[in-house]
Amino acid sequence: MNSFLLALLNSLDIGLLLFIIAVGLNIVFGVLGVINFAHGALYMLGAYLAYAGIVGLGLPFWVTLLLAPLVVALLAVAIDRGMLHFIYGREIADSLLLTFALLLILNESIRLIWGNGIHTVEPPWPLQGTIAMPGGLRYPSYSAFVLLVGLLTLLGLWLLFSRTRLGKIMRAAAQDPEMAQTLCINTRRVITATFAFGAWLAALGGVVAAPMRAIDPGMGDKIIIESFIVVVIGGLGSFPGALAGALVLGLIHGLGGRYLPQLDLILPFVGMALVLLVRPHGLMGARRV
C-alpha cells in the first residue's frame, strides 16, 4: 500500500513535469496554429542554461529558475519576429518545416556551446534530502517541489485564462484573430507574447528537470515525443487536455513501470491508440477542421 502511494506520487511527478512542458506546446498551437517542433529544444535550452548558471557561473538554483526561462522567452521573441512571423496563416506543413529547422539549429547550437558530454546539476538547498514516508519508504524532497511547481503552474494558468484580461485577449485572438483585430486588439503583439510564454513554460520545465535528469544533447528530442503523446491523448490546443494527457501518461509510466515493467514500452502507445479510437480529438480536444 505504501509503495503504491509512492508509485502514485511518482506518477504525479512525471505527469506534472510533462504538463508544464506540454501545456506550452498546446497554448502556442491554440493561439498561433503552429505545432512547435522546437518546443523540446527550448526545454533543453532551459536545462543547459540552468547548468551554465549553477555550475559555470556559480549562481544559486533559485536565481537560474527565475532567469533562464526569461532568457529563453526573450530568444522566443526574436524567433517569432525573425522567423515564425512570416508563416502565420499559411498551411500547417510550413510551420512544421520551419520549427523543425529551428529544432536542428537549436540542437546543434547547444552542442557547439556545451559539447556532447552528459552534465548534472545538484538539487538546491533545502531540497537535497528525502521525506520519510510510512513503511520506511522515502520520497525525495525535490520531487515534492516538482509537484508544487506543477500545481502552481496549473493554478496560475487557470487564473490567467479565466480571470485576467490578458487571458481573455489570448483566447479571443485564438478564436477569431480578425474579429479581435477589429476590436482594437494588437493581435501581432498577443501572438508574440503567447509564443514567448510557451517558450517560457518549456524552459521552466527544463530548469525544474535539471536537478533530476541527465542534461545531454538528446533530452529535447525525448521530451518532444512525450509531449506529442500528451497532446494526442489530451487533445490538441486544449489546456485541460494537456493536464489530462500528462496525468494519463504519468500514470502509465509511474504505475505501469512499477507493476507492469514488461509493458512500459508499449503502454503509452496503447493509451494513445485507445484514445484515438474512442475520441479522435483527444480526451478534451475540441473538434477542429
Partner 1 sequence: MTSFSWKTALGTALAGAALVASSPALAEQPIKIGGIYLMSGSAATYGEFAKQGATLAIDEVNADGGVLGRQLELKLEDGQGKVAVAIQAARKLVYQDKVDLLMGIDSSGVAEGLVPVVPELGKPFMITHAATPAATGRLCNKYTFRDGTYVAQQMAGAAAVAADTDAAKWTTIGPDYAFGHQTWEYFSKYLKERNPDVQIMDDAAAFPKFGAEDFTPFISSVMAAKPDGVMISLWGGDLVNFVRQASKLGFFEQGFTNIYAVGAATEVLTALGEQMPEGQWLATRYWYDAWDTPMNKKFVADYKAAWGHPPSYNAEQAYMAIYAFKAAIEKAGSVDADKVIAALKGLTIPAPFGDMHFRAGDNQALIGPTIGLSGPMHESDGIRTLVQIRNFDGADVTPPVDPDCKM
Q: Which residues bind partner 1 (CB under 8 A)?
A: 3, 6-7, 10, 13-14, 107, 111, 115-120, 130, 138, 140, 142-143, 212-214, 216-219, 221-222, 253-259, 261-262, 264-265
- Our CB check for partner 1 shows the closer of 14 and 35 to be 14
- SS3 at position 89: coil
CB of 218 to partner 1, least distance (A): 3
Q: Which of 265, 278 has the CB closer to partner 1?
A: 265
Nearest distance from C-beta of residue 34 to partner 1, angstroms: 25
Give the end-to-end CA distance of the chain in Å, rounded to a whole number: 46
Residue 239 Cβ vs partner 1, minimum distance, rounded to whole Å? 24
Which amino acid, residue 276? L
Kindly provide the b/e burial profile for residues 241-268, where b requires at least 16 CB atoms within 10 angstroms of the residue's own CB. Answer: bbbbbbbbbbbbbbbbbbeeeeeeeebb
The C-alpha cell 503552474 sits at 153
Q: Is the CB of 204 or the CB of 284 nearer to partner 1?
A: 204
Q: How far is the CB of 226 from partner 1 (least distance, A)?
A: 8
Q: What are phi and psi of 129, to 5 degrees?
A: -90, -160
Residue 215 backbone phi and psi in degrees, to 5: -90, 105
Sign of CA dihedral 51, 196, 221, 129: positive
Which residue lies nearer to partner 1 by CB, 3 or 186?
A: 3
Closest approach, Cβ 10 to partner 1, in A, equals 5
CB of 107 or CB of 192, closer to partner 1: 107
